[in-house]
Chain A
Amino acid sequence: MIKIEKRNDVPMALYFFTPFIAIILTILGGGIIFYILGFNPIEALKFYFITPISNLYGFSELLLKATPLCLIAIGLSFCFKSNNWNIGAEGQLTFGAIVGGGVALLFYNQEGFYILPLVILAGAIGGMIFALIPAILKTYFNTNEILVSLMLVYVSKLLLDYLVVGPWSNPEGFNFPETRQFSDSSRMPLLFEGLRIHAGIFLALAAVMLSWFILYKTYLGFQIKVSGLSLKTAKYAGFKGKTMILVVFMISGACAGLAGVGEITGPIGQLHRMISPDYGFTAIIVAFLGRLNPFGIIFASLVVALTYLGAETAQIFLQIPKYTGQVFQGMILFFLLASDYLLFFKVKILNLKKNELRH
């Protein structure tokens, strides 16, 4: 007989262990899907999770994809921890890339050490401003931040489309929907010859360290965590709720903007329509899988980055559409949420227990 009991408190070890259960279940689920599609599941899973990182180039690609995911998820963790549902990071990424890219285009024919920092700063500010829109509307007009931040994703993508087709399109580009190439001074320095991994990874690592410091060592971090646990307590303690909402959205937007600018100054080198394969949405999953913990997010960003790479490899070798990546990502979140059940409830198998007692 199975008995389900509510737990009084959540064991911390289990809290960080259940994401692994979710990952294992996702891999099993993926195997079943591949089987249904008519592939050998073991072989397909090997192409998905092992082939992509079996050489140095693949490993560099993994870090390249994990960088924006990690950056955005770190930012989102501030919002989610304080119960602010910013799900428009994709829009903040796009707007950050637009502002940063605009600065890079200003200097397209110039060189100078100061250009890249300016571009990065502009990107962060761009993302921050864009995230302030849902934050201000939430604090002063009581508007639902989920819907506003999401609508702004579509708006930002249309704005980018307008710019690369219209005023910012490359004058020598034969009407392709893209801007000029940025000058070398606007590009992230590469870390190794022949690999695409670039200095942007240090931005992500710095964000991890800084967020850990803010969340666990400062008064602001304390306020964020308390508001997330209980809004009433936060109010009673006299925290300035409105300021906090604005701050967490600004942090989140700045991180997403940095991720956007990292993409265009890193692997892309110009602005065009497709600057992000939905990193902003996928980072939501990364944030949850990492348990909103800075170091957990590093791990989660690597796992989720692998689903991107695996989808590309599987597309090449098995002609499976690359959207399996999104299916895997959705499954990870489903299984993660489902396994949370174990956190709040104890599942006891009673008969076994009796036998154990007898022995």
Chain B
Amino acid sequence: MSLDISFIGILIGSIMASSVPLILAASGELITERSGVLNLGVEGMMIIGAISGFALMVITDNLFIAIIGSMLSGVIISLIFGFLTQSLLTNHVATGLALTIFGIGLSAMLGKNFVGIPGKDFPILFSSLRESIPFFGPILFGHSIVLYFAFALPFLTNYFLKKTKLGLVVRAVGDSPVSASNQGINVILVRYCCILYGGAMCGLAGAYLSLIYTPQWIENMTAGRGWIALALVVFATWSPIKVLIGALIFGGITILQLHMQAIGFRIPVQFLSALPYLMTIIVLVVISRDSRKIKLNTPTSLGRIFYKEK
């Protein structure tokens, strides 16, 4: 395996592909958390998105329906979380954990008949340009539409939060729900919307895995990516652009360890596979060490229950 320029181009392209589920899930969770809600059910919502996307693809043979359906299933399952935390005022952490346990079980139950079915080729865009342009070709072209969407998403999220009125409302609700409520904002409604949006993005992230990245259904195929996405939001100190950077770093580590395994690096496979998880811990330690910096950026009411006396 030579390290020529075109190989590096392909390598960067594959790093981008592996970071897509992290970008999608983390960007969705970022909006949820910015509204003051901590949803630890990312892993559960992703795996539900993965199985429903794959199942719909097999049943309808239509990738568009599969993608939309996976997002809808993410919305539906996050509605459980929204109803419990917002209407019944349950603890965010415990409810999110329940969502993950429930989601993993439900996905395995629904997916029983879909194990071993081969996936379908997902259409890629500009495939001719990918071959004809050296280095930049494999980086910029020949990806699925979901990848382009994922790479635009952090910028859109940034614009939404900083430049639009709705974005301001979301931030106000997350930072000071009481004053937002006094301004006439329906805090619970805003939070519901942010939770459902997060669910949709996590569902899409799961569908990316089962339809595009490794087109098949494997039990537990998200393999902790939901949790890494949660860590990414902290790593990014709730800034969308930093989510993109963080996701690329983690995508890089994943691809790097895969290549090291392929080359036959003299480190046991399991240690290489543990790298993304260990890196998450190290990065969290480095970021969190400065507690003032974390406090400055954390949505002030994150994870707190908001109740308005009627």
A residues adjacent to B (C-beta < 8 A): 4, 6, 85, 87, 137, 141-144, 146-148, 150-152, 154-155, 158-159, 161-162, 165-166, 281-282, 284-285, 288, 320-321, 323-331, 333-334, 337-338, 340-341, 344
Whether B88 lies near A330 (C-beta < 8 A) is no
B298-310 contact mask (Cβ, 8 Å, vs A): 1 or 0 = 0000000001011
Whether A337 lies near B109 (C-beta < 8 A) is no
CA distance A340 to B261 in the complex (A): 49
Whether A147 lies near B230 (C-beta < 8 A) is yes
Q: How far is the CB of A54 from chain B (nearest CB, A)?
A: 25
Known: A151-B227, A333-B98. A340 touches B288 (CB 8 A): no
| Main SS class of interface, A | helix
Known: A151-B280, A158-B271. A143 touches B288 (CB 8 A): yes
CA distance A14 to B70 in the complex (A): 40
Q: How far is the CB of A336 from chain B (nearest CB, A)?
A: 9
Whether A161 lies near B84 (C-beta < 8 A) is no
CA distance A330 to B105 in the complex (A): 8
Whether B281 lies near A148 (C-beta < 8 A) is yes
Whether A85 lies near B101 (C-beta < 8 A) is no
Determine whether B231 belongs to the interface, using a CB cutoff of 8 Å to chain A: yes
Per CB-CB distance, the 3 closest pairs between chain A and chain B, nearest first, are: A330-B102, A326-B105, A333-B98
Q: List 14 A-B contacts (CB under 8 A).
A: A4-B310, A143-B281, A144-B284, A147-B234, A147-B280, A152-B277, A152-B281, A282-B101, A321-B109, A326-B106, A327-B105, A338-B84, A340-B88, A344-B89
Known: A159-B270, A337-B84. A146 touches B101 (CB 8 A): no
Task: List B contacts of A154 (CB < 8 A).
Answer: 223-224, 274, 277
Whether B231 lies near A151 (C-beta < 8 A) is yes
Task: List B contacts of A141 (CB < 8 A).
Answer: 285, 288-289
Whether B88 lies near A341 (C-beta < 8 A) is yes
Whether A338 lies near B88 (C-beta < 8 A) is yes
Known: A137-B281, A147-B227, A147-B231. A324 touches B105 (CB 8 A): yes
Q: How far is the CB of A318 from chain B (nearest CB, A)?
A: 13
Task: List B contacts of A4 (CB < 8 A).
Answer: 310
Task: List A contacts of B104 (CB < 8 A).
Answer: 323, 326
Known: A321-B109, A337-B90. A161 touches B270 (CB 8 A): yes
Known: A147-B230, A321-B109, A327-B102. A337 touches B88 (CB 8 A): yes
B residues adjacent to A (C-beta < 8 A): 40, 80, 84, 88-91, 93-95, 97-99, 101-106, 108-109, 112, 223-224, 227, 230-231, 234, 268-271, 273-274, 277-278, 280-281, 284-285, 288-289, 291, 294, 307, 309-310
Whether B281 lies near A337 (C-beta < 8 A) is no
CA distance A4 to B87 in the complex (A): 12
Task: Give the nearest-CB partner of A288 in chain B.
Answer: B94
Known: A85-B93, A323-B108, A325-B105. 19 other contacts (CB 8 A): A6-B309, A142-B289, A147-B234, A147-B280, A151-B227, A152-B277, A154-B223, A159-B274, A161-B270, A326-B101, A326-B106, A327-B105, A329-B102, A330-B99, A334-B95, A337-B95, A337-B98, A341-B89, A344-B89
Task: List A contacts of B294 (CB < 8 A).
Answer: 142
Task: List B contacts of A150 (CB < 8 A).
Answer: 224, 227
Task: Give the nearest-CB partner of A326 in chain B.
Answer: B105
CA distance A144 to B38 in the complex (A): 13
| Pick from B102, B268, B277: contact of A334, CB under 8 Å | B102
| Pick from B90, B103, B269, B309: contact of A340, CB under 8 Å | B90
| Pick from A143, A325, A344: contact of B284, CB under 8 Å | A143
Q: How far is the CB of B186 from chain A (nearest CB, A)?
A: 18
Known: A147-B280, A148-B281. A162 touches B231 (CB 8 A): no
| Pick from B80, B91, B103, B274: contact of A158, CB under 8 Å | B274
Known: A141-B288, A340-B90. A146 touches B309 (CB 8 A): no
CA distance A338 to B288 in the complex (A): 33
CA distance A133 to B238 in the complex (A): 25
CA distance A201 to B89 in the complex (A): 37
Task: Give the nearest-CB partner of B112 in chain A.
Answer: A321
Task: List B contacts of A85 (CB < 8 A).
Answer: 93
Task: Give the nearest-CB partner of A327 in chain B.
Answer: B105
Task: List A contacts of B98 (CB < 8 A).
Answer: 285, 330, 333-334, 337
Known: A323-B108, A331-B102. A284 touches B271 (CB 8 A): no
Task: List A contacts of B274 (CB < 8 A).
Answer: 154-155, 158-159
Q: How far is the CB of A196 from chain B (nearest CB, A)?
A: 25
CA distance A285 to B274 in the complex (A): 27
Whether B278 lies near A151 (C-beta < 8 A) is yes
Whether B273 lies near A158 (C-beta < 8 A) is yes
| Pick from A142, A281, A329: contact of B291, CB under 8 Å | A142
Task: Give the nearest-CB partner of B95 in chain A.
Answer: A337
| Pick from B80, B84, B89, B101: contact of A329, CB under 8 Å | B101
CA distance A162 to B268 in the complex (A): 7
Whether B288 lies near A333 (C-beta < 8 A) is no
Whether A327 lies near B109 (C-beta < 8 A) is yes
Task: Give the nearest-CB partner of B287 in chain A.
Answer: A143
Task: List A contacts of B277 (CB < 8 A).
Answer: 151-152, 154-155
Task: List B contacts of A166 (CB < 8 A).
Answer: 268
Q: How far is the CB of A203 from chain B (nearest CB, A)?
A: 25
Task: Give the nearest-CB partner of B113 in chain A.
Answer: A321
CA distance A39 to B31 in the complex (A): 41
CA distance A284 to B285 in the complex (A): 25
Whether B101 lies near A337 (C-beta < 8 A) is no
Whether A333 lies near B97 (C-beta < 8 A) is yes
Task: List B contacts of A288 (CB < 8 A).
Answer: 94
Task: Give the nearest-CB partner of A329 in chain B.
Answer: B101
CA distance A162 to B102 in the complex (A): 29
Q: How far is the CB of B291 from chain A (nearest CB, A)?
A: 4
Whether B109 lies near A148 (C-beta < 8 A) is no
CA distance A159 to B291 in the complex (A): 32
Known: A142-B294, A147-B227. A285 touches B108 (CB 8 A): no
Whether B97 lies near A87 (C-beta < 8 A) is yes
Task: List B contacts of A152 (CB < 8 A).
Answer: 277, 281
